[in-house]
């Protein structure tokens, strides 16, 4: 058993944890990342199903970190327009990047591709990366946290090695073991929906436009990929309906998807498997526990209908970097009181951001769920009003450029 010391230990080598690690390492902090999967730094050859819409503000920060430049251009899909409407109705909103004075409204990226680029950049800037290991229950002390590594898989870093860190960051996702271990209370809501994801090919090119059509059972998002005729779909459906859709033949699914999209790009056909996952909102009531802090999905998850989940998590990482890099150290050690103040400032700011996003998503979910004809007429009128009112439209356009 070996003992290693680090300033910040991040458990979870996903997008948010790695961005945080790079930001801290570039500011001169000693950072270690522990990740369960064995090969997070390998660029996937095949197109992966889970994608994120990265806005301009996040892209700029990732560029400053040096990670954006590592993305293969043939896997990046900037989108320049957005079209949102209600199925079988006249209500519609349309945005363009030009209206926001941006080169694009955002970029659709496969999550695994972005993780690989971030992992490679983290390695470049000196982050200690430990893959293929899990952790035992941490031991919390007044000025540090100790964590034992287990299940080492070929890299020699498991088998009881212990890491002693001044700060433990839980970036281990929506089912965070670190969050649950300290008994953090969670506010949650099960939408009784599943998000069906797949890669599809359209008869007509997507023209760099992200599309979203609202149905009584949930929205269908069509996100443009790098290939001019391929899109990634996220279709929010009642649980049983989502499962039934996954079980359809490719031809049957193609027909239902094309109808659901209002034939916006001609015939749509799946070119990948179909997978669904439960849609839930979660919000941790406490983000700081001594020398442990939550970021990303460990702290909050939101409905994917506006595609802001990843950007919200990157906002956490950005603001935590700001707070931690503003702290001085004595002989490499953070003062307990000063560190706690910094973590509380981070918690207050990011809780407020998360609550705003959750409230907005709840509002959208309530507004666009159900098929009552009177309510549907009101929704259509509201969409038309938003499309014609610059101050309201400007609010939505700001979401394409703000970081967190």
Give the CATH number of the domain where residue 163 resides. Answer: 3.50.50.60
Structure tokens at 252: 């049957």
Q: Cβ neighbours of residue 337 under 8 Å, at least 6 residues apart? A: none
| pLDDT of the residue at 388 | 54
Query: Which tens digits make up the pLDDT trace of 99-152?
Result: 778 889 999 999 999 999 999 999 999 999 999 999 999 999 989 999 999 975
Identify whether residues 78 and 119 lie together within a single domain. no
321 and 221 in one domain? no
Has residue 347 been placed in a domain?
Answer: yes
Kindly state whether residues 203 and 352 are assigned to the same domain: no
289 and 147 assigned to the same domain: yes
Average pLDDT over the chain reads 88
pLDDT at 367 over 80: no
Say which residues have a Cβ less than 8 Å from residue 177's Cβ, sequence separation at least 6. none
Cα–Cα nearest to 188, from 111, 276, 275, 278: 278
Is residue 324, in this structure, part of any structural domain at all?
Answer: yes
Q: Say yes or no: 317 and 265 in one domain.
A: no
3-state DSSP call for residue 7? strand
Same domain, 101 and 115: no
Do 275 and 288 fall into the same domain? no
Do the domain assignments include residue 35? Answer: yes
55 found inside a domain: no
Q: Is residue 358 part of a domain?
A: yes
* pLDDT tens profile 202-245: 999 999 999 999 888 888 999 999 999 999 999 999 999 999 99
List the domain range (segments joined by +) for residue 83: 70-110+192-279+371-398
pTM passes above 0.85: yes
Q: Average pLDDT, stretch 185-212? A: 94
Local confidence band at 155 (pLDDT 50, 70, 90 cut-offs): very low
pLDDT of residue 398: 64
125 and 225 within one domain:
no
Q: How far apart are CA 243 and CA 248, in angstroms?
A: 9
| CB neighbour list of residue 280: distance below 8 Å, 6 or more residues apart | 174, 188, 189, 190, 191, 301
Q: Is the pLDDT of residue 377 over 50?
A: no
The phi, psi pair for 225, rounded to 5°, reads -100, 180
What would the DSSP string read from start to end of 50-84? -EEEE-HHHHHHHHHHT-GGGS-GGG-EEE-EEEE
Q: What is the CATH number of the domain that holds 235?
A: 3.30.9.10
User: Total structural domains in the chain?
Assistant: 2
The answer to whether residues 215 and 320 belong to one domain is no
106 lies in the same domain as 129: no
In a domain, 63, yes or no: no
Residues 143 and 14 in one domain: yes
- The two tokens of residue 230 are 């391929």
Contact of 166 with 144, CB cutoff 8 Å: yes
């Amino acid at each position: 058993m070996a003992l290693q010391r680090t300033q910040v230990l991040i458990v979870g080598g996903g997008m948010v944890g790695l961005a945080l690690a790079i930001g801290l390492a570039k500011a001169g902090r000693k950072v270690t990342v522990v990740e369960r999967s064995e090969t997070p730094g390998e660029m996937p050859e095949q197109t992966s199903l889970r994608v994120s819409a990265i806005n301009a503000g996040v892209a700029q920060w990732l560029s400053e970190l040096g990670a954006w430049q590592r993305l293969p251009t043939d896997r990046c899909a900037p989108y320049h327009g957005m079209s949102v409407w209600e199925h079988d109705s006249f209500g519609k909103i349309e945005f363009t990047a030009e209206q926001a004075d941006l080169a694009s409204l955002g970029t659709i990226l496969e999550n695994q591709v972005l993780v690989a680029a971030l992992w490679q950049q983290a390695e470049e800037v000196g982050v200690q990366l430990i893959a293929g290991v899990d952790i035992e229950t941490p031991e919390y002390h007044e000025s540090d946290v100790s964590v034992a590594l287990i299940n080492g898989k070929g890299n020699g870093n498991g088998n009881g090695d212990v890491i002693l860190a001044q700060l433990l960051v839980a970036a281990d996702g929506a089912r965070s073991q670190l969050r649950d271990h300290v008994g953090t209370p969670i506010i949650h809501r099960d939408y009784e929906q599943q998000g069906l994801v797949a890669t599809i090919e359209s008869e007509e090119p997507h023209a760099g436009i992200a599309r979203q059509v609202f149905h009584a059972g949930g929205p269908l998002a069509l996100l443009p990929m790098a290939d001019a005729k391929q899109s990634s779909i996220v279709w929010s459906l009642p649980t049983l309906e989502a499962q039934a859709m996954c079980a359809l033949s490719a031809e049957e699914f193609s027909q239902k998807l094309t109808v659901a999209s209002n034939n916006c790009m001609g015939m749509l056909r799946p070119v990948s498997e179909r997978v669904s996952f439960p849609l839930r909102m979660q919000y941790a009531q406490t983000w700081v526990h001594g020398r442990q802090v939550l970021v990303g999905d460990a702290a909050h998850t939101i409905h994917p209908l506006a595609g802001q989940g990843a950007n919200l998590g990157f906002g956490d990482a950005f603001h935590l970097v700001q707070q931690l890099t503003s702290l001085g150290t004595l002989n490499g050690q953070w003062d307990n009181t000063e560190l706690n103040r910094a973590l509380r400032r981070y918690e207050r700011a990011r809780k407020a951001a998360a609550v705003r996003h959750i409230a907005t998503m709840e509002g959208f979910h309530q507004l666009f769920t159900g098929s009552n004809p009177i309510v549907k007429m009101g929704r259509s009128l509201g969409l038309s009003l938003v499309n014609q009112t610059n101050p309201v439209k400007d609010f939505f356009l700001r979401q394409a450029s703000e970081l967190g």
